[in-house]
Structure formats: structure tokens, C-alpha cells
Amino acid sequence: MKKLCTVIMGCMLLSLAAPAAFAAEPYRIGAIFAVTGPAAWLGEPQKNTVKMLEEQINAKGGINGRKIEVIVEDSVGDEAKAVLAFKKLVERDKVAVVIGPSRSGPAMAVKPLAERSRVPLIACAAAEAIIKPVSPWVFKTAQNDADAARSIFDKARSMGIKRMAVISSTDAFGDAGRKQLKAIAPDYGIGIVADETYVPSDTDMTAQLTKIKGTDAQAIINWSIVPAQTTVLKNRTQLGITLPFFQSHGFGNINYARSAGAAADGVLFPQGRILAVDTVAADHPQKAVIAQYKKDYEAAYKTDVSAFGGYAWDALMLAVDALKSVGDDRAKIRDYLEARKNFVGVSGVFNFSADNHVGLGQESFEMLTVRDSNFIVAK
Amino acid sequence: MHVRKNIPLILLVASVAAAALLITDPYILTMLIFIGIYAIATMGLNLLLGFAGQISLGHGAFFALGAYVSAILTTRFGAPCTAAAALAVALVCAIAWAVGLPCLRLKGHYLAMGTLAFGEIIHITLNAEVELTGGPSGIAGIPVLSLGPFSADSDARYFLIVWCVFIALFVLTRNIINSRPGRALQALHGSEQAAGAMGIDVAGMKLTVFVLSAAYAALAGVLYVHFVAFVSPQAGDIMFSIKMVTMVVAGGMGHLWGGLLGAALLTVLPEMLSYFEDYDMLIYGGILLAMVMFMPGGLTQGLARLSGALRARRTAVRPGAVTGGRTEDPVPRRTAQ
């Protein structure tokens, strides 16, 4: 019996060693997304987006007369699996460029591999650590937290606000935002007069809001990505607080606006323009791109377009753009991306440089607001 | 000597040596490295779960602690990898001892809950202690294993290290099981009262095997962190603890080869099934379900039944004489060679 175990193991080793089928025709692009698992809400729209774009591009005859092939690997949001997926894409599928992963942890785990194997990586995750310190081979398409904070303070300053209260959730997203807000506020001459937190599983934030009500804050910032943030909105209405109310870009899910109902009306938050396509000015450079993406995506998948799918749109189209111009030589793609300016994407207009591998600034955020459970551009 | 009994081990050593020489595809080497790392962790858990009959849903935390201690020591304090690894394993042993002391007084579901809570506490601590652990963003830039002039900077070298560690631990584990304490462990799995009556120090034995299995998990964590070069609290979360238990159960509880087979199955299967695109999860779930239904004793038992049935047919012995096949065995067969 032991013998049999060993024989099976030997077979397993052998079957693994069999080379994958080889075809050189199409341009190959690898993608690592959290298609299933706890971060599927990120990975699924990303996979849908790249599959839709692959079909569209190939229907038009591909690029440079060659089709593209996007090979999507599911990381399940797991770091070890992302490492495996990256090696598979690079060593077996011989892709020219890798897009993803969807989450920051897996992106950080893959970053050293991209450097070592000299493969351009365009991450779809937000953490600044992905591009700071800059690695020559690693880019990302999701905006920085700090720019969301700056957008909020810009708007607040234009409204003549000098004192603000911060309330945030005690998870990675909330904690990172809270630190950024406190660090950046002095640059805008704004004082943080209250700093309250709530646990993502809390069901009542009346205590924290009552405390804020007792301060001389002129506006409130609620920084969170979890559903509990809508409870803050409801409690605020119940307490009769009418101060201007800001949310972070973590509010950018239409379901949050729907679940808060009337309590969400008038809330201000920075997000990509993809969420309020209809109210973006017709002459805005991104208008055509986001309107087309929204129309195609919603027709293909019968569900609302999201900012997360937009990160994948940007990553894939940047890769396609590079392939079109310089072919599938990895080093040339890297050089091309780093020098790319004025690339109009879904998340913003990208301008990369040797020390800026996100290519997006504060202007990629638009100040949005909620009216009747719809996102619109704030006046 | 016992050459015949050692054939599987000799074959394993030979195939590791052959793989190190022949396999150059980094993807396969990486998969084999992960299998080796998980197999080390599950071998320890199998000692606890399969041989001593004590469940733990907190072993992912020991894995994470081993990984974090080694990562912090090498990146913050510039400690050499080997010293950091040794210190990490020693520290985890001490923590496991302190945790095991109260926890192991619990039985069955309560022990599962206790260890689950411990795992969750470690997970929250790793997230919250931003100064020390980097919080949810984790620690990056962890150096690769090295000893003096030798550095495991290629996949092939790392593969060799992981599997040499595995083989060494395999021999160690086998000797433990076949020794007096090993038999004591199996006795307390059968009945703690009976074991106590025979003069076995039940509490001491349980604590010893708990600490030992935590040390295996910590060592696996150390090997993981110096390979991936990045660690976040996700590395040892509750899902990983459950995955380890699943590996042990799927491979074969109370069987030396169980941990390895389970780790290999649960690592290779999802990779293979990715060819089926959208249906991979469905097929994966189906396979695990079928295994639970038809091979409750895990892969090792399933294979034992298969080979037993084949041998029975060959020698035309009555099917009833097949050994090791009955699923209703109150005490699973614990064989070790």
C-alpha cells in the first residue's frame, strides 16, 4: 500500500512536468484576479471586464493583425496562490505582461517576482506600497488614498470649512484613511476636532455622533468601505445633524446609497467618474471612454458597472496600447508604459513617469453626491 | 535491515533528488515548494489530530507567528536567517505551551472553539500592532534563506531545502510514532481514561504533542515567509487553519503519509481544475464531497482499500479478507512503517 502511495506521487510529479500546449500566434496577456473567495466583489467585475474587452478587440481583428489572448488566473485573494499564478503565467504561458492582482496583499507578494523575472506588472490594487518605493517593472491603476483625502479637503476649503470631525471604521481601509486625513489636514489649514471610530460589525453609532455633535465641527468625514458606514448616515439623520457630510471613495458602491435611502441625499464623496457617467460634462476627455464602457458592460452582464472593473479596463488597455506600439518585448513594454502620457482610461487620465508609476493624480477623482439613490457629479 | 519497509521513503528521497535535477520549470518547482511547506505543517497537525485525537483550529496562527517572527527579526534587526528561524520556532513553542496549558483541558467542540479563538486573537493582533507587524499592509522585502556563503536564491535550491526538511521531519515523526510516547499518544486517542489507567501522563502527553505540532507549523511558516518574501495577516487566518485540517482529513488522519497526500491534493487539484474555468469550484467541491462520502478515512485509506482489493483479486482470496477497508472502524488504523 505504501508502495502505491509512492507510485501515485511519482505519477503526479511526472504529469506536472508535461509541457503545456504551445501556440505562438496571439499576443498573450496574463491576469490574476480574486474571481472567487472573500474578495470576489473586486475580482469578478475585473474578470468580466477583461473577457469582454478581449472579445471586442478580437472581433475587430486584434492588434497589429494578431489576436490577443487574456489568460485569467483566480488568486482567490490569496498571496501564495497569486505567486503560483504569476509563475504559471510567466513561465508556462509566456505572457508579455501581467495585469492584477486585485488586492494589495497579493500584489505585494507578486511585486518582487515581477522585478526578478523582469515582467511588466500592472496591478489593480490601491496600496501605495505597490509603487512606493518605485519598482521599474511594477505599475498600478487604482488611485492613492492620499488623493481622495486631498479632494475632500479641497472641497471643504472651498466651502469655507475650518474644523472637521473624522469618524472611521477600525479595519485596514478605515485605518489607512484616518491616518492620511490627520496627516494631510494641516496642509489645508483644517483642524480635526473629533476622531471617532467604529467596529465594522457595530449596528449603532449614535454615541460617536453625539460626541461629534458636542464639538464645534463644521463638517463630518466618514471613512469606511464596509456596510456599517450607512448606519452612520442613518444615525446622523435621526440625531438631526445637518452639517455637510463627506464619505470616502469606499462609498462608491451604488448599493450603499440605496440602503441608506433618503439619509444619503447630499452626501459628498470623491470617486472615479465611471460612477456618474451621465452627469459628467460632455466635453470631458474621459466622457467617451466611460460612457462606452458602461454601456457595453451593462449590456453584456446586466449588472451595474463598478470602479473596480474600471481598474482592470485601464490595466488591460494600457497593456494593449503598449503591445500595439512596441510589440511583445517585455523590456520595451516597460519602457513604453513608463513614458506613457495622456492615456485616457476609466479611472482617469494616466501620466506615468520614472518616479510615478500610478500615473493618476487628484484630478482623477470627481466630487460626487447622491440624489434619489443615484450618484451624480456634485456642483 | 528493514529495506522493504523503507521502500516508500527511499522512493521519495529518490524522486526529490531526481526532481531537483530534472525539473527546471519554476511554476512546477514553486508548486512543489508550496506542497512541501504545507506538508510539513500538516504532518505536525496530523500528529495532534490523527494520532492524539485532539482537534486544533488555531494552527494557522502558529504558521503565521513563525512567519512573522522570522520576518521581523530579519528585516528590522538584520538577524541571520538561520538564527531568526530557530528563534521563531522556539518562541512559537513557548506560546503553544502557554496556550495549550489551559486549552487542552477542553475536549471536542470546546477544544475546537478554544483554539479557534486563539487563532482569531493572533489574527487581530497582527492586524492591529501596526508598529511591529506593519498591520494589514504586512511586511515586504524579507530576505531569502541563506547559511554562510550558500543562499537559496533559486527555485531549485529552495525546493531542495524544503524537501530535505520534510524528509528529516518525516523520519523524526515516524520514530516518534513507533516509540513509547507514540504508542501512548495513540492510546489516549482511543480512550483517555484507559490511557491514564495504564500509567500514561495524559495531560503532559497532550501538551507535548501540541507544542511539537505547533513547532512544525512554525517551521513551515518560516519556510513560507523566506520564499514568498512578503507576509500579511492573511497568511495564517482562520481559512488557512481550516485548510490545514482539510488537508489532514483528505489525506488520511493518523497516517504518516496523510499530511503529504492531503497537501499535494489540495494544492494540485485547484491548479489542474483551473482549465475548467467557471466550473472549477463546482468540480473541486464535488471531488471533496465524493471523497468524504466514499473515502472517509482519506486518500491513504482509499488507496489501501484499492490495493487491498486488487491483491485480493489477484490471489483469489475472499473479498471479506480485505484489510483496512471497513469505514466503521471505531478507531482508525494507524499504520506507520
CB contact under 8 A, A171 and B136: yes
Contact B224 A171 (CB under 8 A): no
For residue B132, being part of any structural domain is answered with yes
Domain extents in chain A: 26-143+295-362, 145-271
Set of chain A residues whose Cβ sits within 8 Å of the Cβ of B234: 77-79, 105
Classify residue B279: in a domain, yes or no: no
Q: What are phi and psi of A73, to 5 degrees?
A: -110, 140
**Chain B neighbors of A12, CB-CB under 8 A:** 264, 268
The answer on pLDDT for A11 being more than 70 is no
Structural domain span for residue B76: 4-240
pLDDT tens digit sequence for B124-133 = 899 888 889 9
Q: Which of B23, B30, B273, B283 to mutate to probe the A interface, most A CBs <10 Å?
A: B30
Tell me the residues of chain B between 9 and 28 that have a Cβ less than 8 Å away from chain A. Answer: 11-12, 15, 19, 22-23, 25-28
Give the torsion through C-alpha atoms of B278, B280, B283, B284, to 10 deg.
-150
CB-based contact A16 B12, cutoff 8 Å? no
Q: Superfamily for A26-143+295-362?
A: Response regulator (3.40.50.2300)
Do A136 and A146 contact (CB within 8 A), yes or no? no
- pLDDT tens digits, one per residue of B213-252: 999 999 999 999 999 999 998 888 888 999 999 999 999 9
Q: Is A163 exposed, middle or buried (0-12, 13-18, 19+ CB in 10 A)?
A: middle
The residues pairing with A66 across neighbouring beta strands, listed in sequence order, are: A63
Contact B230 A108 (CB under 8 A): yes
The per-residue pLDDT for range A154-207, each reduced to its tens digit, is: 999 999 999 999 999 887 778 888 888 999 999 999 999 999 989 888 899 999
Residue A24: per-residue pLDDT = 46
* CATH of segment(s) A145-271: 3.40.50.2300
Question: Which chain A residues are closer than 8 Å to B129 by Cβ?
Answer: none
The answer as to whether B8 is a domain residue is yes
For residue B337, give the chain A residue with the closest CA. A2
C-beta atoms of B19 and A74 within 8 A: no
Given its phi and psi angles, is residue A341 left (phi above 0), alpha (psi -120 to 50 degrees) or beta? beta
Average pLDDT, chain B: 88
Q: Does residue B307 lie within any of the structural domains?
A: no
Q: Domain for residue B316, yes or no?
A: no
Q: What are the pLDDT digits (tens) for A286-345?
A: 999 999 999 999 999 999 998 889 999 999 999 999 999 999 999 999 999 999 999 999
Contact A275, A368 (CB under 8 A): yes
Beta bridge partners of A99: A31, A122
Q: What are phi and psi of A349, to 5 degrees?
A: -100, 115
Does residue B219 contact residue B231 with C-beta atoms inside 8 Å?
no
User: Does B317 reside within a domain?
Assistant: no
Q: Count of domains in chain B?
A: 1
Binary contact (A91, B268; C-beta < 8 A): no
